[in-house]
Structure 1
Amino acid sequence: MTIGSKLAWDDTVLPFQLDLSDIRGRVARLDGVLNGILSQHDYPAPVEALVAEMALLTALIGQTVKLRWKLSLQVQTRGALRMIATDYFAPEKEGEPARIRAYASYDPEKVSDAPAFEQLEDGYFAILIDQGKGTTPYQGITPLAGGSLAACAEAYFAQSEQLPTRFALNYGRALQADGSGEWRAGGMMIQTMPKASPFAQSGEGGSGENGLLRAEDLVDGDEEENWRRVNFHVDTVDELELIGPDLPPTDLLVRLFHEEQPRVFDAQPVRFGCTCSEDRVRQSLSIYSANDIEKMTTEDGIVTADCQFCGAHYELDPESVGFEAKK
């Protein structure tokens, strides 16, 4: 594979539809985005893995939000990993890239060698959509269950949206001879086209963990047959096929779904990006009095702020911030 063809699919999300089975989906490939996110912090291996999984889910889910909207995924727990937060900023204009950022908060003394998902305990998975000024953000929450963040996202779509959804993800760090490495991630999301679900509306419990609804609980008849058939093909995907770069997403779709009449749409480029700025820091500090600001002032006589997402460091004159700031 040439360098040019590799770059053509890195950091992109490709939407597709399977016309025969009335199922839509996306294929995502992340490398620069993921390296940009993880290079800002020295996370332990289990935390890195969970942040990578969340970033990949964010790219796959976020592609559907409209221009200028913001989608956020959050995990809050009482375990070793206290929080993961990701943001997907939709493009300002058609043809522009979307931006993704992510970070995690964890207790280094509690992080263990246990599998990544076991670092989470007694918490929830949330999806938030912000449509902009003058609107109320939407929020949907589901318990942490199923053994992976992908399973939590599937449960969210079943519970909150009544949409059968499946994720197939792979991510990892390729180590070089000198010990350095770069992250790559790839994944696929499939989802039935929106329809009313009599089962979900009945209020009965589902077949998932703790009675949560699963995708299989929401389909019947021809839709169930289509869902089972397409999932059978997804089960055959090789983990390296998801990551690439040797197999373009278009070729992967043909290999998996050539009998389902796959149809692709324009790919969405994504980039690592943050919205922090000095103005935003000043705005966040505007609710504090001069007395509060004094308590935040360092021995060097400045107020400092660090962005958890991108690592930007801000130093401000304490007299210029807060609602009692001297103009």
Structure 2
Amino acid sequence: MTLTTKLAWDDTVLPFQLDRSDIRGRVARLDTALDRILSQHDYPAPVEALVAEMALLTALIGQTIKLRWKLSLQVRGDGPIRLIATDFVAPKAPGEPAQIRAYASYDAERLEASAPAFEQIGAGYFAILIDQGTDMTPYQGITPIAGGSLSTCAEAYFAQSEQLPTSFKLSYGRAQEPGQTESWRAGGVMLQVMPEASLEAQGAPSGEDGLLSAEDLIEPDKAEDWNRANILLQTADALELIGPHVAPTELLVRLFHEEQPRVFDAQPVGFGCTCSEDRVRQSLSIYSAKDIAHMTTDAGRVTADCQFCGKHYDFDPLTLGFEAEKAPDGSPV
């Protein structure tokens, strides 16, 4: 495989369908985008791993939704790793890349570098939020933290909240090719039963903590197809998933050649942040002059840093809040 071929699949999500099984899916590869996400911060290894997994899930899930603006994933827990948040912003025009960003909040004093990362989230919830724009009501779905990974949390969410049997196979980590610098790479496959008018549980929930699982929703006449596709998916190894020497199209043939895979146009993905000076001003517009005074530093400025990209904003306090005395350009209001 040539370098050009490898680069063609970097930072992409490839939709596909298994015609024999009536199952849809996505293959995602993140490298430069994931490196950009993680280079904005100096996370400890357990936090880095969870952010990488969450970013990959976000790319896979975001591409399945007819999105006008933004999909967000959040995990909140009572452990040392308190929050992981990601955004997937839809392309502004056909052919342009979707934008993805992520960040985490953690308690450095409680974090154990050698302990399993997922266990350090503790009890909490996994949430998906869909915001289709200013003229639409945002949607939010929540499910408890379950299983042993963020991908199992996502599977539980789709079973519980969307009644869509879903499974993931993911791989991520630092990789280095001869003559190249070490960098983050991630890759994964998502399988999902094609949405139908209605799906009902076939029995009592069998998932952790009484939650529905994918198997609970599979109709008996489709169980064999679902099980066969997932058995084949589990044969994928880490190097096949993250590439770069196995193209996603080749991976699908290796895994599912008897399932009649059919691919669609790939979606490019890149790191991007939607923060701006105007957005920060808007977020502060609800505060009074007294509130703004409490935010003002000894140097007489109000500052803010974007948690996603680290960009620093610096404001004249008299230009902020609903009692602002000056316009942003410094002229009297």
TM-score over 0.5 (shorter chain): yes
- Per the TM alignment, residue 212 of structure 1 is displaced from its structure 2 partner at its CA by 1.1
Q: 1:108-257 alignment to 2 at 5 Å?
A: 108-112=108-112, 113-174=114-175, 181-195=182-196, 196-199=198-201, 205-257=204-256
Q: 1:1-327 alignment to 2 at 5 Å?
A: 1-112=1-112, 113-174=114-175, 181-195=182-196, 196-199=198-201, 205-326=204-325, 327=333
User: For residues 81 and 178 of structure 1, do their structure 2 counterparts lie closer, same or farther at Cα, with a shift above 3 Å needed?
Assistant: farther
Q: Deviations over 1:134-168 (max 9, x none)?
A: 21111111111110000000000111111110000
User: For residues 193 and 42 of structure 1, do their structure 2 counterparts lie closer, same or farther at Cα, with a shift above 3 Å needed?
Assistant: same
Q: Deviations over 1:81-124 (max 9, x none)?
A: 11111000011221111000100000001111211101111100
- Check the 8 A contact 1:34/1:183 in 2, yes or no: yes
User: For residues 87 and 296 of structure 1, do their structure 2 counterparts lie closer, same or farther at Cα, with a shift above 3 Å needed?
Assistant: same
- Per the TM alignment, residue 176 of structure 1 is displaced from its structure 2 partner at its CA by 8.2
Give, in whole Å, the separation in 2 of the partners of 1:178 and 1:244. 17
Q: Deviations over 1:172-203 (max 9, x none)?
A: 01268999631000000000111332326xxx
Give, in whole Å, the separation in 2 of the partners of 1:239 and 1:135. 40
Give, in whole Å, the separation in 2 of the partners of 1:33 and 1:63. 15
Q: Secondary structure at the match of 1:300?
A: coil
- Check the 8 A contact 1:29/1:243 in 2, yes or no: yes
- Check the 8 A contact 1:55/1:102 in 2, yes or no: yes
Structure 1 residue aligned with 2:328: none
- Per the TM alignment, residue 218 of structure 1 is displaced from its structure 2 partner at its CA by 1.1
Give, in whole Å, the separation in 2 of the partners of 1:142 and 1:158. 10
Runs of 4+ in 1 over 4 A off after TM superposition: 175-180
- Check the 8 A contact 2:67/2:132 in 1, yes or no: no
Q: Which runs of 5+ in 2 are unaligned?
A: 326-332
- Check the 8 A contact 1:65/1:90 in 2, yes or no: no
- Per the TM alignment, residue 66 of structure 1 is displaced from its structure 2 partner at its CA by 2.5
Amino acid at match of 2:172: Y
Give, in whole Å, the separation in 2 of the partners of 1:7 and 1:180. 16
Give, in whole Å, the separation in 2 of the partners of 1:137 and 1:267. 27
Query: How many residues are matched?
Result: 324
Q: Which runs of 5+ in 1 are unaligned?
A: none
Give, in whole Å, the separation in 2 of the partners of 1:179 and 1:41. 22
Amino acid at match of 2:109: E
- Considering only aligned residues, what root-mean-square deviation do their CA atoms show, in Å? 1.6
Q: Secondary structure at the match of 1:308?
A: coil
